[in-house]
Amino acid sequence: MRVLIVDDSKAMRMIVKRTLRSAGFTGLDVSEAGDGAEALSAIQKSPPDVVLTDWNMPNLNGIELVRKLKEQNSPVTIGVVTSESSAEMRDEAVAAGAAFFITKPFTAETFGQALDGLLGQAGAGSSDGATTQAQSAVPDVSGLRTALARLVPRNVDVAQAKSKASEKGTVVARYHDADGALGAVAFADLSSTACFGAALTLIPAGAVKDAVRGGELPQNMRDNANEVFNVIGSLMSGVKLAEVIFEGGDVQGDVKGKISSAAHRLDVQVEITGYPPGTLSIVR
């Protein structure tokens, strides 16, 4: 079976491939595309059997890709794999022609269930194979632990922190609501963020020390950390990741205001096997 994975995050494409292998799909011919436009070109040249596409991407997003393939009467089976987890977006994807809809963070069982069903009824039309991720104001410790454990290929432990994380020298993830207003914030120090980013694709711990010593994360750690913060956002209702600020300055402006007036706050210590422990705070 030929599978095309479409996601603007190289780290997430790797995670999808790894999850497919864990689900028992070891004989796949897998190719990749960084956005919908690249995917459309690849499909027109050599159609795969299945396309697994992210939703939010530059140039041509996932739902636009689904619609274009349907307009072209393409026989390709396409599924949406995304952190967008609302029922409305699921329904929109299925109505556009998606055969299934999987939310991040996902499991090998999720992929096994979706693809086994599709392979058994290839060409039979769309089915509602959606999975949903429980959402709340801010994640609880258990939910965050489960999400990170699914995402990172190492043992992960998340525990309530004994004290609030520092607001100095932080990396800040901004989450906006449907109106574009700041709805939630996650922040961590540079060392913790480097560990999150490194663990996602098993970058050696020594590279974390080098990055922290230099005061700046390399692009691969930034991309990976961005994906971690994106998945954290999928655990919160009504918001999604808008940007991650890696400069590491003290929090200020509307972020500082959000932290000081937050109705909900979670401070945790995160331990990933092979990496130094880190701290993470989420406020809303």
Domain residues of the chain, as ranges? 2-119, 141-283
Structural domain 2-119, CATH architecture: 3-Layer(aba) Sandwich (3.40)
Taking residues 209-236, report their average pLDDT.
Answer: 92
- Cβ(230)–Cβ(198) below 8 Å: no
Q: Which residues of 37-61 are buried (b: 16+ CB within 10 A; e: fewer)?
A: bbbbebbeeeebbbbbbbbebeebb
pLDDT at residue 111, as a whole number: 86
The lowest-confidence range among 87-91, 143-147, 279-283 is 87-91
pTM above 0.85, yes or no: no
Instruction: Kindly write down the DSSP assignment for every residue of 25-73, as one continuous string.
Output: --S-EEEEESSHHHHHHHHHHS--SEEEE-SS-SSS-HHHHHHHHHHTT
d(CA 238, CA 250): 26
pLDDT at residue 117, as a whole number: 63
CATH class belonging to 141-283: alpha beta
Q: What is the DSSP letter of 261?
A: T
pLDDT in tens, 129-174: 444 455 568 889 998 998 898 888 899 999 999 777 677 778 999 9
Specify the amino acid at residue 241: L
